Amino acid sequence: MRRVKRKSVGRASFLLVGILVALGCATLGSGEPATLTSWQVPTASSTPGGILVADGIVYFTEAHANKIGRLDSATNLITEWDAGQGPERIVLGPAGGVYFTERWADHIGRILPSGNYYTSESSGASASEPVGLVADLSGVPSLWYTERGVSKVGQLTLGGLLFDVLQVRVPATQVVSPATAALAPTTVTVTPQVTAGNPMLPPGVAVAPRTSSGPFTEWTMSGGFMQLRDLALAPSGSMFISTETRSILEFNPSADTVLFHDLPSHSLSLRLALDASGRVWFTESRNEKIGRLDPTSGDVVEWAVTGSQPLAITVAADGTVWYSDRERDKIAHLDPATGSLTEYPLAANANPTDIVLDVSGQVWFTTEQNWIGRLALAPVLGPPPVADAITGVHVTSLSSTQISVTVDYVYSGSHGVPVYVGGLPTVGGAESGSFGYVPEVIPTTGAGSVSFDVSYLGTGCTTTDGMDVYIYDATRSTFLFFQAAIAMSWGPCGSSGSAGLPSISLGVDRGCGGAYAIGDPVTISIAATEAATATLVDFETGGTQKQLALGLIPGGATRTVTGTITGPAGIEGLVVMAQTTSGTWISAGCTLSVAGADASAVSVAVDRGCGAMYHYGETATAVLQSSVVGVARLYQVTRDGRVAAVSSLPIFPGVTERIGAPIGATSGRSTFLLQVTNALGGQLLAATCSYDVVP
């Protein structure tokens, strides 16, 4: 819903669109000049609203266009996906998922940018109007949201079959030419008004009745129709909720109770933010004030900003406050210690709405004038900081279907260690879905080089004209991106398989999943129903991948291989791949537990079940699950005799990941092998699953 602006709205006299490359870690402060950078959103009249920033990538909602937008400020590329009706608030969830409220659809939506997948789940009853949204990623990940239309707070526990029905949403992309403008601020001093709390009159308390259904839990806020708006999650697990009444609610979900913190007369809170001391900052759009509630003492401090319409608010690391002033087309900064109020003017009728700070202290915001803005300072004088950078990319061809990509880098440690390097070939600037990569780890800071492998997953000859390379952290947030103009040809072309499906089996002497100690002997058995030339691939728990040529195995015969378990502890994965004398490629997998590792810690299946049959042109979807937090790498033994890297992604307990593999016109048996690196213990854990393909 578009907010009504009190002053007359004419045609905008100008629109600033631009970009500033932020240098250093300067934080905007009172009275300092700033540079405005703005990017025009390609979809006209889309009304950008909610915004989040993660490592230079900006996600935003487009309420009137029913879209989710993504801005890469390093490349100026804006990507837009279709979503449900009225997307409003937006947060980053596990595994790189972007979640948002769909106010007029009564749903919570999700976009998986890496696969262009969209899906949504109902947020509650009809006309519930989900508005506020926060993500709680401690423990089992969940989303908390307000239901404005029914005065409820909802919790959606992520995992299981939630957001399971994926829809491919092919995005629209456009590189936006940015421009910059210098902004000269004005500064005034505002004297705060203090309304002391009454220690003899504590906040009112009421029960918040709870109802649960599967992963959904809802609490009804007692007190009538309060039109809940924003919510902020405290470290204790409680949360504060703004209402369109004179109260800020303090909700304790573990006790099913709610406290009513009454505000001074005429105060109506809209958006909230918590500071490091646990105090609640809020905007009073109708009362033209910025407020702060101390929930312990009940004290309320208000700063009058006459003539304004403060909307969104955020607290900086130094305790100062930033907010958007929609009425006066300004971004404002308040220092509560001095009362200094600094305002940065925007274009007429810009109507700034949501606002956030990035890790370097730059201010990002959305506007109803259809652009995304950023405020930044010039760097503070002194020695320049160590800048994270990809300084070079080199490619070595390993075969017609595999390359090794060497990346030269400088890393300051800004996103912790380790971080990861990966990338994919491009055609016309867009990444191709016919490739997979195995990421490599950058374990320390400094300058260095690291290599990762890229595999071609297709069955026909193709060409690519570029290579995208990115470095990302443990949350899969990319903070360095590099585009290299590297042209390559890939092959070979696929060949047809035979009409029948011979089979091959793989086992160990203690049974697949059996337990072995380091130093134990192991006997591996391979048998084929038709004569076949076979290779055994061993995904060792030490991280290496070894291949052993077994030669020709006669039909109906069994070949045995003996060895010794070398360790370290983990789940070792074995895959045999073979080409029969009739030309059909078949494979099978097996795992064994080394030094007490839990053989059931990770699993991989296909959507129809392991051993299922698929036909040409269908898609086999790998289903990945893990009881540990880690990095998952999915490999596929293809029906042309290759071990191909399909995907790499973070994986979390209780969260099911799904990766589709299109079926080409080649018969045979394929095998998925999942390998997960446990983020806590460092163990490598593996699982396998095979499926058949026929015409």
- Check residue 484 and give its pLDDT: 79
Interatomic CA distance for residues 639 and 653, integer angstroms:
31
**Quick check: do 389-490 and 504-694 share a fold?**
yes
- Check residue 487 and give its pLDDT: 64
Interatomic CA distance for residues 44 and 14, integer angstroms:
16
For 95, phi and psi rounded to 5 degrees? 60, 30
Domain ranges of the chain: 389-490, 504-694
Residues 489 and 463: beta-carbon distance below 8 Å: yes
Coil, strand or helix at 94:
helix
Coil, strand or helix at 564:
strand
The tens digit of pLDDT for each residue in 654-679 reads 788 888 888 888 888 899 999 988 87
The percent of residues in the chain predicted with pLDDT above 90, rounded, is: 41
Interatomic CA distance for residues 406 and 3, integer angstroms:
51
The domain made up of 389-490 has a fold known as Immunoglobulin-like (2.60.40)
Region of residue 617 (phi > 0: left; psi between -120 and 50: alpha; otherwise: beta): left
The tens digit of pLDDT for each residue in 177-197 reads 998 999 989 999 999 999 988
Contacts of 310 by beta carbon, 8 Å cutoff, 6+ apart: 270, 283, 284, 285, 288, 289, 290, 323, 324, 325, 326, 332
- Check residue 491 and give its pLDDT: 65
Whether residue 509 has pLDDT greater than 50:
yes
Amino acid at 472: Y
Position 681 confidence tier, pLDDT thresholds 50, 70, 90 = low
Position 467 confidence tier, pLDDT thresholds 50, 70, 90 = confident
Amino acid at 222: S
Q: What is the largest CA-CA distance in the chain?
A: 91
Of 175, 201, 241, 214, nearest to 42 (Cα)? 175
- Check residue 214 and give its pLDDT: 84
Position 28 confidence tier, pLDDT thresholds 50, 70, 90 = very low
- What's the Cα-to-Cα distance from 653 to each of 37, 141, 164, 594, rounded to whole Å? 40, 9, 16, 22
Q: For 504-694, which CATH superfamily applies?
A: SoxY domain (2.60.40.2470)
Residues 692 and 577: beta-carbon distance below 8 Å: no
pTM: 0.54
- Check residue 322 and give its pLDDT: 95
Coil, strand or helix at 96:
helix
- Check residue 30 and give its pLDDT: 47
Q: What is the mean pLDDT of the chain?
A: 84
Tell me the average pLDDT across 67-75.
94
Position 499 confidence tier, pLDDT thresholds 50, 70, 90 = very low
Tell me the average pLDDT across 118-133.
83
Interatomic CA distance for residues 135 and 99, integer angstroms:
9
Interatomic CA distance for residues 394 and 117, integer angstroms:
31
The tens digit of pLDDT for each residue in 198-244 reads 777 778 888 999 999 888 899 998 777 788 999 999 888 899 999 98
DSSP-assigned letters across all residues of 57-74 = EEEEEETTTTEEEEEETT
Paired residues of 56 in beta bridges: none
Least confident of 45-54, 152-161, 235-244: 152-161
Tell me the average pLDDT across 26-31.
46
Report residue 276 CA to chain centroid gap: 25
Amino acid at 227: Q
Least confident of 28-32, 361-365, 555-559, 595-599: 28-32
Report the range out of 60-74, 115-129, 245-259, 666-680 with the highest average pLDDT.
60-74
